[in-house]
Structure 1
């Protein structure tokens, strides 16, 4: 459980002034003004871990182990700079893609720069060629492994040891990990406030998705993704991404037609409004983008990686506005 600094990809140099200005304009389209203080959005009840000493030095990451379903599991935990055990902090759960690791996702995503507790769980080796970690819901995931239950167990463990705002737990992930966030939203909507899949692999699970509440979603996908095609893959049961997002908007009771705006030369933003319970659904299409993480400075997958937006900034601006309803 040795603490270490985040990867070098997180310590990137500032971009040009013009690029920063356009990026901020894009973020404004997603969230308007920044999320108001917690006191303005209903009560904040800190978790049982409030007041406990930080498990390692804020601003660094450490590896921890836990057991769920009789299986030992591993996760990377990053505490933000300025973490204090008397202030409830939001949480971002970040799920790697098939065959990747939490450490790799942390290194290229930029997520650990966010003002939140970041958790990078490790999947269990699944089926198919090679020993490749995967997440529940995909045809190659490990049989009998309940990653939804693992996630809920992990949230409980973290809430006992850290000072968390349990109304602001968000999930993101890439590829298979992104697809898993959708399964979380279907089955654990009472724990996950919003999801942000990137290049998500939305395999059919054989069950109807019926969240216990409307779940806000922002989805990122490259139109030239050769691994999880933007237009879908009938042979693998993968839906066309715009159709998947529109179906989620329907599930959330949004108006059927989104507003569509080009916010960068290669970025088109679709946003559904009028959704139930103040939720929102958005889709970020990257023209010519590959199976990659937008804004990544390190390798994140095959194909072109746009640098006109930073996915971690855009998704945070979206999800940070949403909280679970008061119980």
Structure 2
């Protein structure tokens, strides 16, 4: 069944719409009907904050993705992205992952398309289990571990509805997320090529074999070259080790250097990285950043390392402000490109 635009818009605007205070503003909780390719029409939840004055011009959008077992609004409240966004006229959107594990615990997470692949974990890996949605789809592999609701479809349709409700700049949509949410960002950057102007995964990497996307989009679809990438990762992570290979509990991950090296090659950047000084404000976790310089089209590819274990961020508010600085740099670049395209189109009419 296809949800017609009028029905979807009504649901977006009116169904289960409530507001609640966050640390830096008011998040509106909304529910939207999503056409899930495998499971039919599904209610999905998200939180959104938009500027009070949304008539000044097309607004950038920042999507934030929580980690496994977290709630979207609580994750938003742990960060200052709402405050930073409201000061600059951005929209913030926090989708909520599905919790259908049936274990009695809140295991909300994201589907990165690997549940039926038995090569992504070692025998005896802990934390495996088949969610109800996966049983319905017969996707209960040995390495099953997350929901099987289609989060690619969720994000794609959610963005379409946000764009229909608000005056959004489609060229300036950004994503940041941690752990399982960072894994989803890697997955979406490949499976929704060109959707994000920049992606910031934090202590999360693709499972082994999924670096280039489920259909190898990173090497087949030129639109992926729109996306700049900055990854942040703690140095002592054993849950999703930045070095890749097997984690402490038996999962197999791509090395961060291979992942970002692939993005660097796609953007025509230097393969060797250059260390850059980091703005002051991180006195405790010793953040060090490295960039693949010389990317074509002015794109950015880089990573930052800092002291900590899985779940740790660089010192706050430094971390959020540093990410925000990166996003606004990319946003300014996109604005300049748009102005140039408009100028060229205008001159060609004479």
Match of 2:240 among 228, 231, 237: 228
Note if contact 1:186-1:209 (Cα within 8 Å) is conserved in structure 2: yes
1:226 positional shift: 3.4
Normalised TM-score (structure 1): 0.73
Shift of 1:136: 1.8
Superimposed CA distance per residue, residues 27-59 of structure 1 (whole angstroms, 9 cap, x where no aligned partner): xxxxxxxxxxxxxxxxxxxxxxxxxxxxxxxx5
Structure 1 unaligned blocks of 5 or more: 11-58, 298-306
Go from structure 1 to structure 2 and tell me whether the alpha carbon gap of 1:176 and 1:157 turns closer, same or farther (over 3 Å shift).
same
Judge conservation of contact 1:108–1:296 (CA < 8 Å) in 2. no
For 1:119-134, list aligned pairs within 5 A: 119-125=93-99, 127=101, 130-134=105-109
**Which stretch of structure 1 is more off in the superposition, 111-120 or 246-255?**
246-255
Deviation of the 1:203 alpha carbon: 1.7
**Residue 193 in structure 1 maps to residue 200 in structure 2:** no
Query: Residue 20 of structure 2 aligns to a residue in which SS?
Result: coil
The alignment yields a C-alpha RMSD, in angstroms, of 2.6
Distance in 2 between residues matched to 1:292 and 1:85, nearest whole Å: 38
Query: Is the aligned partner of 1:102 residue 2:72?
Result: yes
SS in 1 for 2:176: strand
The answer to which of 268-277 and 314-323 deviates more is 314-323
Gapped regions of structure 2 (runs ≥ 5): 1-16, 116-144, 342-350
Residue 18 of structure 2 corresponds to: 2
What count of residue pairs does the alignment treat as equivalent?
A: 266
- C-alpha separation in 1, matches of 2:188 and 2:333: 16
What SS is found at the alignment partner of 1:256?
A: coil
Equivalent residue for 1:16?
Answer: none
Counterpart Cα distance in 1 of 2:237 and 2:332: 29
For the structure 1 residues 192 and 320, does the alpha-carbon distance in structure 2 shift closer, same or farther, using more than 3 Å as the test? same
The match for 2:312 is 292
8 Å contact kept, 1:174–1:293: no
Contact 1:97/1:174 (CA < 8 Å) preserved in 2?
Answer: yes
Name the CA shift for 1:5/1:315 in 2 (closer, same or farther; >3 Å).
farther
CA offset at residue 207 of structure 1?
4.5
Q: Does the 8 A contact of 1:193 with 1:322 survive in 2? A: no
Alignment of 1:1-327 (within 5 A): 1-7=17-23, 10=24, 59-68=25-34, 69=36, 70-80=41-51, 82-113=52-83, 114=85, 115=88, 116-125=90-99, 127=101, 130-137=105-112, 139=115, 140-143=145-148, 145-204=149-208, 205=210, 207-210=215-218, 211-213=221-223, 214=225, 215-234=227-246, 235-263=250-278, 266-288=286-308, 290-296=310-316, 310-323=321-334
| Larger helix proportion of the pair | 2
Task: String of CA shifts for 1:47-99, please: whole Å, max 9, x gaps.
Answer: xxxxxxxxxxxx5211001011211000000123x432352110001111111
SS of structure 1 residue aligned to 2:253: coil
**More contact order relative to length (CA 8 Å, sep ≥ 6):** 1
Question: Highest Rg: 1 or 2?
Answer: 2
* TM-score normalised by structure 2 residue count: 0.68
